[in-house]
Amino acid sequence: MQTPRETVLRFLAAPTDVGTGNQVHTGRILEWIDKAAYAQAAVWSGGYAVTAYVGNVRFSRPIEAGQLVEVSARLVHTGSSSMHIQCDVRACDPVALEYRHCAECLVVFIAMHEGRPTPVPSWRPASRLEVHESDEAVMRIALRRDIEDAMAQQRYTTEGTAPRSTLRFLAAPADVNWGGNVHGGRIMSWIDDAANLCATHWSGTPCTSVYAGGVRFYHPVSIGHVVEVEARLLHTGHETMHVSVHVRSGEPTSPDRVLTTHCLAVCAALGPDLTPTPVPRWTPESAEDHALDEHARHLIRLRGRGRVTGSAAVPV
């Protein structure tokens, strides 16, 4: 029997999934994506796998409570131990069944055995569409490295004057994954919460995520650890705010915290009708502010190198 290269989850969006208005919280959508991608990675590898990277997350249309949601996770490239999985989210009225595209991203999982990366079965594209998807995944490997290098070179200190928000809490047993640590989708949801809190404080309006990228997982988060999620404003566009988010964790008995995850999110301010509305311009003051503002602009240029499929470009 041939191992399937696509997994599809299908369910109704519940009232408990709602964030702003009647719209599903984007952090919940990220959790759904991670679960679908993990299911496909586990099927393909035949064992346990961990989220290594999530990139090019684009939210194109909101999902409302009561809609039927379909999350597809499709293998598009394999490395020696890595699986590159394209995820697409669609939703529709459960009566009409006319699905509309809502979100997409690329997730990279690493197969693990006894705490170490382990080889996975290779996959070779056959059709023209499969070759195209595989070529795009390979192209994004180089782009991902450039984005990671650019993000790693930045300094975040107390010299910066930009607005910031910090969430602090204990990782709970309900956050656990199949390996005993916090699952990646939950961490992405925390990132989304912190980014939107920072953006809401600055704009004075409700906000929603429209993009997230460069989500790099450095270390696992253990259940029972103190988690600190710090979001800092880097750059403002006409209707958007670019926010850098760092996740750190450590033992409750120690003040030491280890960087576990880092990413950049783009949030849009929403007006009374829940459509994008202009935001106050943030003006950098310190040298660090100017460097991080230019960093956000540089990431915009880097993202422009990647092909956008299925959705509009990220507003700047």
Distance CA 260, CA 216 (A): 8
pTM of the model: 0.88
Nearest to 196 by CA among 263, 243, 262, 260: 243
Distance CA 245, CA 243 (A): 6
Reported as a single tens digit per residue, the pLDDT across 7-49 is 999 999 999 999 877 899 999 999 999 999 999 999 999 999 9
Distance CA 175, CA 196 (A): 20
What percentage of the chain has pLDDT greater than the value 90?
78
CATH architecture of 6-122: Roll (3.10)
CA angle, residues 268, 237, 26, in degrees to nearest 5: 20
Q: For residue 302, what pLDDT is reported?
A: 86
> Is residue 111's pLDDT more than 50?
yes
**Ramachandran class of 278: left when φ > 0, alpha when ψ lies in -120 to 50, beta otherwise:** beta
Q: Which residues contact 315 (CB under 8 A, 6 or more apart)?
A: 210, 237, 238, 239, 240, 266, 268, 276
> Is residue 309's pLDDT more than 70?
no
- For residue 254, the SS3 value is coil
Give 310's DSSP letter: S
Instruction: Please report the sign of the dihedral spanned by the C-alpha atoms of residue 15, residue 17, residue 19, residue 24.
Output: negative
Q: Which residues contact 148 (CB under 8 A, 6 or more apart)?
A: 214, 216
Distance CA 286, CA 160 (A): 6
Q: For residue 306, what pLDDT is reported?
A: 60
**According to CATH, where is 3.10.129.10 located in the chain?**
6-122, 164-303
> Is residue 311's pLDDT more than 50?
no
Name the band, by pLDDT with cuts 50, 70 and 90, for residue 315.
low
Reported as a single tens digit per residue, the pLDDT across 57-67 is 999 999 999 99
Mean pLDDT value across residues 129-157: 89
Instruction: Please report the sign of the dihedral spanned by the C-alpha atoms of residue 252, residue 258, residue 260, residue 264.
Output: positive
CA angle, residues 109, 25, 90, in degrees to nearest 5: 65
Nearest to 237 by CA among 218, 210, 258: 210
Mean pLDDT value across residues 243-252: 96
**Residue 126 token pair:** 């056959």
- For residue 122, the SS3 value is coil
Q: For residue 145, what pLDDT is reported?
A: 86
Distance CA 72, CA 91 (A): 11
Distance CA 55, CA 7 (A): 19
Mean pLDDT value across residues 94-118: 95
> Is residue 310's pLDDT more than 70?
no
Mean pLDDT value across residues 60-84: 96
Distance CA 50, CA 187 (A): 13
Class in CATH terms, 164-303: alpha beta
Name the band, by pLDDT with cuts 50, 70 and 90, for residue 316.
low
Nearest to 144 by CA among 106, 174, 182, 87: 106
